[in-house]
């Protein structure tokens, strides 16, 4: 169990220093664009649309996906430590997926929270203003979460199917990023699949596509794909999937200097 926890923490360490700047950038960009656009437009959905808040989210999602997919690149110290721990491949894959999912959920939450706070501050100012107090009400924030396509897709309220669609896509993205990270152990080639899934989520959040959002096809599709990936993973092998093992074999890494924490894990 201790080994599992250690692996989890090692993986987190590998993305921590990149995750926090990404989230900070999202918050900063949202604030700047919202404030600038609010000078030109009155309605919050217009501000969100014209302020390109959805594009900020999409860009952040892309960058984060890339970071997650390359977090265990072959020459990283964490990667080396993981190989020496020799945990079963599926176990490492699951832990990596959990770490990825945590990071993605964090981005989701930060985006939602930032926009909610911005809307609330904006509404407070408008209600206090004599010019537009009759154009807004306390419900305006609730309404904007439906009126804005981006927010409606990101936070679909009572639409359970859409929640399932969103969650299944995030899980699928976490899985693909984990798979890409596994492959990066043996190959430096950039994996395209997680970026494609990120693109689908991004387009979904922009409401450019509606595929699977009106029925259960998206969750079913995601689960099926995850099962396929699961089967391709080596059950007891090292930290990489069967395909990588077959194609590239186990490539021993050079032994970089281990950090004190990694040494503790290896003990």
Partner 1 sequence: MRKTLVFTLLLALLSAGCIGYVAADIYPLRNQVAVQEMTEGAYSGYGNVGDVSATAGLTATLKADYYKAMNWKTEIQFGSVLPNAETGYHLQFPVKKTTNYLRERNDIDIRITVEDVVDNSVFAYLAEGLEPGQTRTEKVYLKDFAEYYNTDVDILFPDVTYTWRPSDTTVDNKTEEALKQLFDTNFLFPLGDNVSVDAHGDCHVQYGPGYGYGINTSSDTFGLNIEETFLNDRVYFTFNRKGESYRDLDVSHLPLGYGIYCLTVPEDGSQPELINVCSLDLGVKILKLTADGSGNILAYMVENGFFTITVIDSSTNSVTQCLQLTEFPSNSPSWATYEEGGVIAVTLAHKIETRQIILLTADENGRYELHWNLIIPSEDSRALTYSDETNKEYSYDHAPVMAWNGQYLAFGLSEDHWVNFDLALYDKNGLAYSGRYNTSLNIWTVQPDGDLPLTLEWE
Structure tokens at 32: 């700047």
Single out the segment in contact with partner 1 by CB under 8 A; choices: 64-72, 228-236, 237-245, 258-266: 258-266
**Which 147-176 positions form the footprint of partner 1 (CB under 8 A)?**
147, 155-159, 162
Residue closer to partner 1 (CB basis): 50 or 243: 50
Single out the segment in contact with partner 1 by CB under 8 A; choices: 2-10, 47-55, 58-66, 76-84: 2-10
Judged by CB under 8 A, how many residues of this single chain contact partner 1? 40
Among 124, 125, 129, 146, which residue sits at the site for partner 1 (rule: CB under 8 A)? 146
Residue closer to partner 1 (CB basis): 162 or 183: 162
Structure tokens at 140: 């305006």
CA distances from 85 to 4, 72, 78, 131, 181 (A): 10, 14, 11, 65, 17
CA distances from 97 to 131, 178, 203, 225, 250 (A): 50, 5, 22, 14, 22
- CA nearest 262: which of 78, 12, 17, 71? 78
Is the distance from CB of 82 to CB of 238 less than 8 angstroms? no
Among 141, 209, 223, 258, which residue sits at the site for partner 1 (rule: CB under 8 A)? 141
Q: Is 43 in the site for partner 1 (CB under 8 A)?
A: yes
Residue closer to partner 1 (CB basis): 158 or 255: 158
Distance of CA 117 to the CA centre of its chain: 21
We find the least distance from the C-beta atom of residue 58 to partner 1, in angstroms, to be 19
Chain length of the chain: 267
CA distances from 260 to 84, 129, 252, 254, 257 (A): 15, 58, 22, 18, 10
Q: Is 216 in the site for partner 1 (CB under 8 A)?
A: no
Q: Is 243 in the site for partner 1 (CB under 8 A)?
A: no
We find the least distance from the C-beta atom of residue 109 to partner 1, in angstroms, to be 4
Residues that bind partner 1 (CB under 8 A): 5-6, 8-9, 12-13, 16, 43, 102, 105-106, 108-110, 112-113, 116, 134-143, 145-147, 155-159, 162, 214, 261, 264-265
């Amino acid at each position: 169990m201790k080994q599992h926890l250690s692996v989890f923490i090692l993986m987190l360490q590998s993305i921590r220093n990149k995750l926090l700047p990404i989230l900070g950038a999202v918050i900063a960009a949202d604030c700047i664009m919202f404030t600038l656009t609010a000078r030109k437009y009155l309605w919050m959905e217009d501000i969100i649309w014209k302020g390109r808040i959805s594009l900020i989210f999409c860009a952040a999602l892309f960058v984060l996906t890339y970071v997650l997919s390359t977090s265990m690149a072959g020459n990283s110290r964490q990667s080396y430590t993981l190989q020496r721990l020799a945990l079963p491949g599926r176990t490492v894959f699951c832990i990596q997926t959990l770490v990825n999912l945590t990071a993605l959920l964090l981005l989701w939450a930060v985006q939602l929270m930032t926009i909610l706070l911005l809307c609330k501050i904006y509404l407070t100012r408008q209600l206090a203003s004599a010019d537009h107090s009759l154009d807004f009400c306390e419900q305006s924030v609730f309404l904007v979460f439906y009126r804005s396509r981006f927010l409606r897709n990101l936070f679909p309220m009572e639409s359970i199917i859409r929640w399932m669609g969103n969650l299944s896509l995030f899980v699928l993205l976490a899985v693909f990023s984990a798979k890409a990270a596994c492959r990066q152990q043996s190959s430096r080639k950039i994996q395209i699949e997680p970026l494609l899934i990120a693109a689908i989520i991004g387009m979904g959040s922009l409401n450019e596509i509606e595929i699977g959002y009106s029925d259960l096809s998206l969750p079913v599709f995601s689960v099926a794909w995850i099962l396929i990936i699961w089967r391709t993973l080596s059950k007891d092998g090292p930290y990489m999937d069967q395909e990588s093992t077959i194609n590239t074999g186990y490539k021993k890494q050079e032994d970089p200097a281990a950090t004190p924490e990694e040494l503790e894990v290896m003990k």
